[in-house]
Amino acid sequence: MKIFSKALILTIALGLAACTNGDRFGAGGGAGDGYGAGANGGVSGGILPGSANDPRSPAYFNQTVGDRVLFAVDQSTLSAQAQATLDGQAQWLMTNNDYLAVIEGHADEQGTREYNIALGARRANATMEYLISKGIAPNRLRFVSYGKERPVEVCAEEACYAKNRRAVTVISMGMGS
Amino acid sequence: MSKSAATIRASRPASGFVGGVSHRYAKSDEGRNVPQGKRFGMKQLMALCLALLAAVALPAATQAQGGPLRIEITEGTIEPMAYAVPDFVAETPGASQYAQQLARVVADDLTGTGLFREIPREAHISRVTSFEAPVQFTDWRTVNALVLLTGSVAEQGGRITVKFRVWDVFAGTELGQGMQFAATADGWRRLAHKVADQVYMRLTGESGYFDSRVVFVSESGPKDKRAKRLAIMDYDGANVQYLTDSRSIVLAPRFSPNGDRVLYTSYQTGEPRVHILNVGSVQSQILPNASGVMSFAPRFSPDGSKVVYSVTTGSNTDIYLMDIAGGAPRQLTFTPSIDTAPSFSPDGSRIVFESDRSGAQQLYIMPVGGGEPTRISFGQGRYGTPVWSPRGDLIAFTKQLSGRFHIGVMRTDGSEERLLTASPLDEGPTWAPNGRVIMFSRETLGAQGTSSLYSVDVAGRKLTRVRTPDGGSDPAWGPLQ
């Protein structure tokens, strides 16, 4: 298990380094969760299992399906674009049913700390409820809110704030696998 | 951590302060209270008031209906009262290192209130070289000092003893009686704060706030990799000690009424959960029995026996109340909205909190026993993080309006709203134990943004940055020690 964890950490590091839209807080879920992201070395000549080209890989989920949805200011309503992303997430989770997901809700810094924790929870919960409505078993999903504690962008402009108002679906291996 | 605990205990001896009992000094009841009879009498206050008016023709606002000289702390504009505090007289060789520092800490305390203005030492004519020698009032009148503070310090066997006297310069009389305090050497700053608290009380008629501590979140690192840990400090930023490491996000610590425990929110388990920490032992644990996976925004009841906090279930956040001793938590709010940031009234009968049940964050008050909340905020913008003043008269809050954040106060019925600060991101007010000063966090925006602690008096006159080694946020002011 220890070696397995180390390997995972390494692959996470590699995976994140390879991510073009790398979530600097992507690995912030519960300690001990496994992340199956594989190294995306950009190697040509066939699909590397676990790489972003492997449709069964979390890297594929993060990059191609899209691991996050964004929200309007002070809102937790899912836009049409967000719903399309979540449809893809649901489909992926249906196919890869040995994975669990933690949905992390976040807010931009334009709000008070406690309120933003509750607002992030609304966003994460709306995301989770949508996935459940698409047939994902509730016991594969849980959510947590980080409020404004973990921004991915730090500028004080709407372009950054918009990316921080997010719910990120973080994939992890299930207990049995 | 255990080392840190030992340091705290060593620097905070419960009986570290003893009242002077020599015939020349008033007994100080462990340094906490000036006996009623020794208080600055009405007659003396009148005399000083008259002298004041004759001397500098103060604005009418300070006259306070012909009453005693009572610096009106809530008034918008007043002329700070001029005072002088020469270096204390060192009575033993080992005390000389403290003689100047004590006077400087006292001066920082007094000037920091905005109520007092120090006559700079360069202007002094008299040099005080003996604590017992008669005061040269003429010299102090010449430099326009209305109040003179003299002190002495002695060191023996690792203990420091400070004596002080307060003088009404124009009347040529002593205000109250001389007192003395003693502590171990590492508590010398507390001695200065105790002196300043006494001076404050004699000149304002209210208890001070200088010998108090603040628990807060120490912040370091950039905004997207911010490391947070709980820390405790003197109210002026000195003597910072850390209570947790930065492995987990920690938020919004809150002191128990007597300062022995701290409630806070930690992500140690992966979710935000209410924790309780013993300040003496620096041991913490998840608050037992707190319901819900996500619990946060805790605060003690005024008697320290209960905790009010928020629990998130699905998209809904409600307020719960629980006994620390045990028993099932009781749900206090039931709407499908965000109800959070609860704070008790000082008598423990009511709770002010924020809710977006009307569509946006507003402030509400409800009885502790349950019942329909009453909305109290109706101005433009959004209102959050309400905190009831220890005096019971005001509620401090964070207000968001047109992209700016303000710390403000309003009466408990929502009237007389006043905004005390403005910046791109101010939040999280906490009251000084006497209800006259508010500390809060101010975050600067952008990639280089950092969070710092500030204090402002309730009149909004004196905004002061509280210097901490790293960044700081979420301050909570503890009791007067």
> pLDDT digit string (tens) for A45-99?
677 777 888 999 999 999 999 999 999 999 999 999 999 999 999 999 999 999 9
Q: Compute how many other C-beta atoms are within 10 angstroms of the C-beta atom of residue B97.
A: 14
Minimum-distance CB partner of B338 among A119, A126, A154: A119
Contact: A115, B314; criterion CB under 8 Å: no
* Residue A164 pLDDT: 98
* Residue A40 pLDDT: 42
Three-state secondary structure of chain B: CHHHHHHHHHHCCCCCCCCCCCCCCCCCHHHHCCCHHHCCCHHHHHHHHHHHHHHHCCCHHHHCCCCCCCCCCCCCCCCCEEEECCCCEECCHHHHHHHHHHHHHHHHHHHHCCCEEECCHHHCCCCCCCCCCCCCHHHHHHCCCCEEEEEEEEEECCEEEEEEEEEECCCCEECCCCEEEEEEHHHHHHHHHHHHHHHHHHHHCCCCCCCEEEEEEEEECCHHHCEEEEEEEECCCCCCEECCCCCCCEEEEEECCCCCEEEEEECCCCCCEEEEEECCCCEEEECCCCCCCEEEEEEECCCCCEEEEEEEECCEEEEEEEECCCCCCEECCCCCCEEEEEEECCCCCEEEEEECCCCCCEEEEEECCCCCCEECCCCCCEEEEEEECCCCCEEEEEEEECCEEEEEEEECCCCCCEECCCECCEEEEEECCCCCEEEEEEECCCCCCCEEEEEEECCCCCEEEECCCCEEEEEEEEEEC
Contact status of B222 with chain A (Cβ, < 8 Å): yes
Identify residue B439 by its one-letter amino acid code.
M
Minimal CA separation from B195 to chain A, in Å = 37
* Residue B35 pLDDT: 33
Task: Inform me whether the pLDDT recorded for B472 exceeds 90.
Answer: yes
Contact: A144, B271; criterion CB under 8 Å: yes
Which is it for strands B147-156 and B89-90: parallel, antiparallel or unpaired? Answer: parallel
* Residue B369 pLDDT: 85
* Residue B371 pLDDT: 84
Minimum-distance CB partner of A114 among B223, B293, B385: B385
The proportion of chain B whose per-residue pLDDT surpasses 90, expressed as a percent, equals 79
State the complex-level ipTM.
0.84
Task: Inform me whether the pLDDT recorded for B275 exceeds 60.
Answer: yes
Task: Inform me whether the pLDDT recorded for B49 exceeds 90.
Answer: no
* Residue B292 pLDDT: 67
- Upper half-sphere CA count for residue B480 (Cβ side, 13 Å): 20
Minimal CA separation from B78 to chain A, in Å = 33
Minimum-distance CB partner of A112 among B228, B398, B445: B398
Taking a C-beta distance cutoff of 8 angstroms, is the pair B441, B252 a contact?
no
* Residue B297 pLDDT: 97
Of A145-154, B58-67, B139-148, B414-423, the poorest mean pLDDT is in B58-67
Phi, psi torsion values for B139, nearest 5 degrees? -65, -35
Mean pLDDT (chain A) is 81
DSSP run (H or E) holding B466: strand B463-466
Collapsing DSSP to helix, strand or coil, B475 comes out as strand
Residue of B nearest to A121 (CA): B315
CA dist B19 and A98 (Å) reads: 71
Residue B172 backbone class (left: φ over 0; alpha: ψ -120 to 50; beta: rest): left
Minimal CA separation from A31 to chain B, in Å = 7
Residue of A nearest to B450 (CA): A154
Taking a C-beta distance cutoff of 8 angstroms, is the pair B88, B128 a contact?
no
pLDDT-derived band at B75 (thresholds 50, 70, 90) equals low
* Residue A67 pLDDT: 97
Q: Could you name the CATH architecture of B212-480?
A: 6 Propeller (2.120)
Residues of A in contact with B361 (CB under 8 A): 112, 115
Mean pLDDT (chain B) is 86
Contact: B446, A155; criterion CB under 8 Å: yes
Contact: A115, B272; criterion CB under 8 Å: no
Minimal CA separation from B445 to chain A, in Å = 6
Minimal CA separation from A113 to chain B, in Å = 8
* Residue B453 pLDDT: 98
Contact status of B403 with chain A (Cβ, < 8 Å): yes
- What are the percentages of helix, strand and coil residues in chain A, rounded to 5? 40, 15, 45
> pLDDT digit string (tens) for B11-35?
222 333 333 322 233 333 333 333 3
Taking a C-beta distance cutoff of 8 angstroms, is the pair B230, B214 a contact?
no
Contact: B400, A24; criterion CB under 8 Å: no
Minimum-distance CB partner of B385 among A112, A119, A144: A112
Residues of B in contact with A151 (CB under 8 A): 223-224
Mean of the pLDDT values across residues B47-54?
A: 31
Bridge partners for B312 per DSSP: B294, B317
Q: Which of A100, A113, A150 best probes binding to B when mutated, by most B CB atoms within 10 angstroms?
A: A113
**CATH topology (fold) of A2-173:** 60s Ribosomal Protein L30; Chain: A; (3.30.1330)
> pLDDT digit string (tens) for B164-179?
999 999 999 999 999 9
CATH code, B18-204: 3.40.50.10070
Query: How far lies B469's CA from each of A71, A78, B346, in Å?
Result: 36, 42, 32
Minimal CA separation from A117 to chain B, in Å = 9
DSSP assignment, residue B336?
S
Task: Inform me whether the pLDDT recorded for A6 exceeds 60.
Answer: no
* Pairwise pLDDT comparison (B4 vs B120), residue with the higher score: B120
Contact: A113, B474; criterion CB under 8 Å: yes
Contact: B224, A150; criterion CB under 8 Å: yes
Contact status of B430 with chain A (Cβ, < 8 Å): no
* Residue B33 pLDDT: 34
> pLDDT digit string (tens) for B323-362?
998 888 999 999 999 999 999 999 999 999 999 999 999 9
pLDDT-derived band at A132 (thresholds 50, 70, 90) equals very high
Contact: B223, A154; criterion CB under 8 Å: yes
A-B contacts at Cβ under 8 angstroms: 102
> pLDDT digit string (tens) for B249-268?
999 999 999 999 999 999 99
pLDDT-derived band at B8 (thresholds 50, 70, 90) equals very low
* Residue A174 pLDDT: 78
Residues of B in contact with A31 (CB under 8 A): 270
Residues of A in contact with B427 (CB under 8 A): 112-113
Domain residue spans in chain B?
18-204, 212-480
In B188-285, alpha helices (H): 188-204
Q: How many residues are given for chain B?
A: 481
Residue of A nearest to B404 (CA): A110
Domain residue spans in chain A?
2-173
Bridge partners for B424 per DSSP: none
Mean of the pLDDT values across residues A6-26?
A: 41
Task: Inform me whether the pLDDT recorded for B59 exceeds 50.
Answer: no
> pLDDT digit string (tens) for B81-123?
999 999 999 999 999 999 999 999 999 999 999 999 999 999 9
pLDDT-derived band at B431 (thresholds 50, 70, 90) equals very high
Of A19-28, B71-80, B277-286, the poorest mean pLDDT is in A19-28
